[in-house]
Amino acid sequence: MSENKNPRVHAEILPALAAVVGPTTKILAIGSVTAKGTPEAIAPVLPHEVRATVRNHLAGKIEQWFFQTEGYGVVFIVNATSTAEAHELLEKLPLGVAGMMEFELIALGPLAPLAMLIGEPPRS
Protein backbone atom coordinates (compact mmCIF):
# COMPACT_ATOMS: atom_id res chain seq x y z
CA MET A 1 0.00 0.00 0.00
CA SER A 2 1.57 3.26 -1.11
CA GLU A 3 1.90 6.23 1.23
CA ASN A 4 2.21 8.70 -1.67
CA LYS A 5 -0.25 11.58 -1.93
CA ASN A 6 -3.34 10.57 -3.84
CA PRO A 7 -3.78 12.90 -6.85
CA ARG A 8 -7.52 12.17 -6.76
CA VAL A 9 -8.10 13.76 -3.35
CA HIS A 10 -10.84 16.27 -4.09
CA ALA A 11 -10.03 18.62 -1.21
CA GLU A 12 -6.60 19.25 -2.72
CA ILE A 13 -8.13 20.00 -6.11
CA LEU A 14 -11.05 22.10 -4.84
CA PRO A 15 -10.45 23.35 -1.26
CA ALA A 16 -14.17 24.07 -0.69
CA LEU A 17 -14.75 20.33 -0.64
CA ALA A 18 -12.55 19.94 2.44
CA ALA A 19 -15.51 20.93 4.63
CA VAL A 20 -17.78 18.33 3.03
CA VAL A 21 -16.68 15.04 4.49
CA GLY A 22 -18.63 11.83 4.45
CA PRO A 23 -17.91 8.49 6.03
CA THR A 24 -15.94 5.81 4.23
CA THR A 25 -18.32 2.97 3.51
CA LYS A 26 -16.55 0.98 0.81
CA ILE A 27 -13.04 0.49 -0.50
CA LEU A 28 -12.24 0.15 -4.19
CA ALA A 29 -9.36 -2.35 -4.31
CA ILE A 30 -7.48 -2.57 -7.60
CA GLY A 31 -5.25 -5.61 -7.56
CA SER A 32 -2.11 -5.98 -9.65
CA VAL A 33 0.12 -8.99 -9.98
CA THR A 34 3.65 -8.44 -8.72
CA ALA A 35 6.86 -9.67 -10.36
CA LYS A 36 6.62 -12.80 -8.19
CA GLY A 37 3.25 -13.57 -9.75
CA THR A 38 4.34 -15.44 -12.82
CA PRO A 39 1.70 -17.67 -14.43
CA GLU A 40 3.65 -20.72 -13.20
CA ALA A 41 3.74 -19.40 -9.62
CA ILE A 42 0.09 -18.30 -9.54
CA ALA A 43 -1.40 -21.51 -10.98
CA PRO A 44 -1.05 -23.70 -7.88
CA VAL A 45 -2.18 -20.89 -5.53
CA LEU A 46 -5.20 -19.82 -7.58
CA PRO A 47 -7.66 -22.48 -6.30
CA HIS A 48 -6.87 -21.40 -2.71
CA GLU A 49 -7.25 -17.74 -3.71
CA VAL A 50 -10.68 -18.39 -5.24
CA ARG A 51 -11.92 -20.28 -2.16
CA ALA A 52 -10.67 -17.55 0.18
CA THR A 53 -12.27 -14.84 -1.98
CA VAL A 54 -15.60 -16.71 -2.01
CA ARG A 55 -15.45 -17.07 1.78
CA ASN A 56 -14.89 -13.31 2.10
CA HIS A 57 -17.78 -12.66 -0.29
CA LEU A 58 -20.10 -14.94 1.69
CA ALA A 59 -18.99 -13.22 4.91
CA GLY A 60 -20.00 -9.86 3.41
CA LYS A 61 -16.44 -8.51 3.24
CA ILE A 62 -16.01 -8.53 -0.54
CA GLU A 63 -19.23 -7.17 -2.02
CA GLN A 64 -18.34 -7.30 -5.71
CA TRP A 65 -15.45 -8.72 -7.69
CA PHE A 66 -14.29 -8.17 -11.21
CA PHE A 67 -11.42 -9.10 -13.51
CA GLN A 68 -9.66 -6.24 -15.29
CA THR A 69 -10.42 -6.56 -19.00
CA GLU A 70 -7.65 -4.12 -19.94
CA GLY A 71 -4.96 -5.38 -17.66
CA TYR A 72 -4.08 -8.32 -15.49
CA GLY A 73 -5.59 -8.34 -12.04
CA VAL A 74 -8.79 -8.01 -10.08
CA VAL A 75 -10.99 -5.23 -8.79
CA PHE A 76 -12.95 -5.68 -5.57
CA ILE A 77 -15.53 -3.55 -3.83
CA VAL A 78 -14.72 -4.22 -0.16
CA ASN A 79 -17.07 -3.48 2.71
CA ALA A 80 -14.70 -1.66 5.06
CA THR A 81 -14.52 1.70 6.78
CA SER A 82 -10.82 2.31 6.17
CA THR A 83 -8.12 1.41 3.70
CA ALA A 84 -6.17 -0.12 6.62
CA GLU A 85 -9.04 -2.53 7.29
CA ALA A 86 -9.23 -3.50 3.61
CA HIS A 87 -5.44 -3.86 3.40
CA GLU A 88 -5.45 -6.26 6.35
CA LEU A 89 -8.18 -8.38 4.74
CA LEU A 90 -6.58 -8.49 1.29
CA GLU A 91 -3.06 -9.22 2.54
CA LYS A 92 -4.44 -12.41 4.14
CA LEU A 93 -5.58 -13.78 0.77
CA PRO A 94 -3.20 -16.48 -0.55
CA LEU A 95 -1.77 -14.36 -3.37
CA GLY A 96 -1.16 -11.52 -0.91
CA VAL A 97 0.54 -13.84 1.58
CA ALA A 98 2.75 -15.14 -1.25
CA GLY A 99 3.62 -11.57 -2.32
CA MET A 100 2.13 -12.14 -5.77
CA MET A 101 -0.61 -9.50 -5.63
CA GLU A 102 -0.75 -5.94 -4.33
CA PHE A 103 -3.67 -3.53 -4.17
CA GLU A 104 -4.27 0.14 -4.74
CA LEU A 105 -6.94 1.05 -2.20
CA ILE A 106 -9.35 3.94 -2.69
CA ALA A 107 -11.78 4.92 0.07
CA LEU A 108 -15.34 5.51 -1.12
CA GLY A 109 -18.33 7.09 0.57
CA PRO A 110 -21.60 8.84 -0.11
CA LEU A 111 -21.47 11.61 -2.70
CA ALA A 112 -21.28 14.21 0.07
CA PRO A 113 -20.28 17.15 -2.19
CA LEU A 114 -23.85 17.10 -3.54
CA ALA A 115 -24.79 18.86 -0.29
CA MET A 116 -23.09 21.97 -1.67
CA LEU A 117 -25.43 21.93 -4.66
CA ILE A 118 -28.63 21.63 -2.61
CA GLY A 119 -27.69 24.27 -0.07
CA GLU A 120 -27.12 22.00 2.91
CA PRO A 121 -24.51 23.23 5.38
CA PRO A 122 -21.29 21.19 5.41
CA ARG A 123 -21.06 18.45 8.03
CA SER A 124 -17.95 18.19 10.16
DSSP-based three-state secondary structure for 48: helix
Beta bridge partners of 62: 78
pLDDT for the residue 21: 65
Tens digits of pLDDT across the chain (124 residues): 445 555 556 556 566 666 666 778 899 999 999 999 999 999 999 999 999 999 999 999 999 999 999 878 899 999 999 999 999 999 999 999 999 999 999 999 888 777 777 776 656 6
Q: Is the domain covering 24-108 a CATH 3.30.70.1060 domain?
A: yes
Summarize pLDDT for 35-67 with one digit per residue, the tens.
999 999 999 999 999 999 999 999 999 999 999
Delimit the domains of the chain by residue range.
1-22+110-124, 24-108
